[in-house]
Amino acid sequence: IQNKKPFTLVLTLDEPHRKILLGMKKRGFGMNKYNGFGGKLEPTETVEEAAHRELWEESTISARNMKKVGLNLFSFENNPVAMEVHVYVVTEYDGTPTETEEMRPEWFSYDDIPYDDMWTDDRQWIPIMLKNKKFIGEFYFAEDQKRIISQVLEEVDVV
């Protein structure tokens, strides 16, 4: 990998009810998959600022807290640019999740997460996150963006 580009990904949890807020992505990269909310950084913002902004832009909720829980590096066969995705958990927020141009929000029970309609890596690190553990992952995807050719995933104390 010659180069990596930072991204954010925010998972909002309703811990008392064991529910997770995902969005069906309506356009662009990862279209037709459920995922957390997030995206690229704007030139002057910090990673955490970008996480707040993307959550707001894509679901219309405002995070009251934001905890960094993971870091995933995604790279693809025949692509020199990897994605460095900073993963955050939100447990308190203002507003009501609302459909936007990019995402259609939907709550899922922790026991009923639609992994078949998500990125292949998600079923590996989301369970770690839901146990309140932190993680660092590296996933190398085939060109089809589905098959994982190699990976490293570990729980860590500090991310």
- ∠ CA(86), CA(77), CA(69), 5° rounding? 15
Among ligand 6U4, Na ion, none, the one that 88 touches (CB under a kind-dependent 5 to 8 A) is none
Local structure of 113: helix, strand or coil: coil
Strand-pair category, 148-156 with 134-141: antiparallel
Q: Are 4 and 83 in contact (CB under 8 A)?
A: yes
Residues 4-33 within binding reach of ligand 6U4 (CB under 6 A): 7-9, 28-30
Least distance in Å: CB of 100 to ligand 6U4? 11
Note whether 121 binds ligand 6U4 by CB under 6 A: yes
Note whether 97 binds Na ion by CB under 5 A: no
Applying CB under 5 A, among 23, 36, 39, 97 the residue interacting with Na ion is 39
Note whether 56 binds ligand 6U4 by CB under 6 A: no
Least distance in Å: CB of 153 to ligand 6U4? 12
Applying CB under 6 A, among 22, 66, 83, 128 the residue interacting with ligand 6U4 is 83
Q: Are 7 and 39 in contact (CB under 8 A)?
A: yes
Q: Are 66 and 90 in contact (CB under 8 A)?
A: yes
**Residue (94 or 117) nearer to ligand 6U4, CB:** 117
Strand-pair category, 62-63 with 3-14: unpaired
Binding site for Na ion (CB under 5 A): 39
